[in-house]
Amino acid sequence: MVTMNPADAAARLLNEGELAWVYGPRRHELATVRINPEIRAGNVVLRDISGASPSEVVRVVKPDLDTRGRRGTALA
């Protein structure tokens, strides 16, 4: 689970309960988004994410579910 500020979630087009990729320095995982206005902008709270430790930089990204597979590989 990743908890974040409402403004940060809106900038990433994320809503409460959606899945988001959390990219840490060692690995990435899908996590459920929770929105909490008490969290400062730019900070996130991670729970049950094994790819990140305290004070490490992580990225939270909305999954791209519209494109499937690799691009540019046309079968003829």
- One pLDDT digit (tens) per residue for the chain, 76 residues: 999 999 999 999 999 999 999 998 889 999 999 999 999 999 999 998 887 888 889 999 998 877 776 665 555 4
Residue whose tokens read 């940060």:
8
**Hey, what domains does the chain have and what are their CATH numbers?**
2-61 (2.40.40.20)
CA distance 44 to 38: 11
Model-level pTM?
0.79
Q: How far apart are the first and last CA of the chain?
A: 43
CA distance 76 to 71: 14
